[in-house]
Amino acid sequence: MLKRFGIASESLELKIECRGSPLLGGREVVLRVPVVQSSLSMITWTNEGMVKRIRGTTFSNRVSSQFENTMVHAARGIFNRLLRDVHIFTDHKAGVQAG
């Protein structure tokens, strides 16, 4: 998406260091965005297109990892009716890593 505005996406970086949930928190996200020296170029988006693939990640903290498998199974049941290229990954954290 940034390429359409004339920004190199190689210099953009997003890292999720530690996931956490509300109340106790413990989240840590690092986002590095390049400085834009010139003005952004204008784009005209007239052809929206169709969804070709779905990629997603489920995450859970301090619960059984079976909950994530149930979420993935339910989501794939819905999305696979629409298109075949669906990949949902799981990210389970426990203990100190959970935030």
Q: What is the pLDDT along the chain (99 residues), one digit of tens a residue?
A: 667 776 777 778 888 777 776 666 677 888 888 777 777 777 777 877 888 999 998 888 778 888 889 999 999 999 999 999 999 998 887 666 555
SS3 state at 7: coil
**Where in the sequence is the domain holding 39, given as residue range(s)?**
2-98
Q: pTM above the 0.75 mark?
A: no
Q: Which residue matches tokens 């052809």?
A: 47
> Alpha-carbon torsion 2, 13, 30, 62, what sign?
positive
- Total number of domains in the chain: 1
Question: How does DSSP classify residue 54?
Answer: E
Q: Which residues pair with 28 in a beta bridge?
A: 18
**Neighbour tally for 35: CB within 10 Å:** 5
Cβ contact 97:62 at 8 Å: no
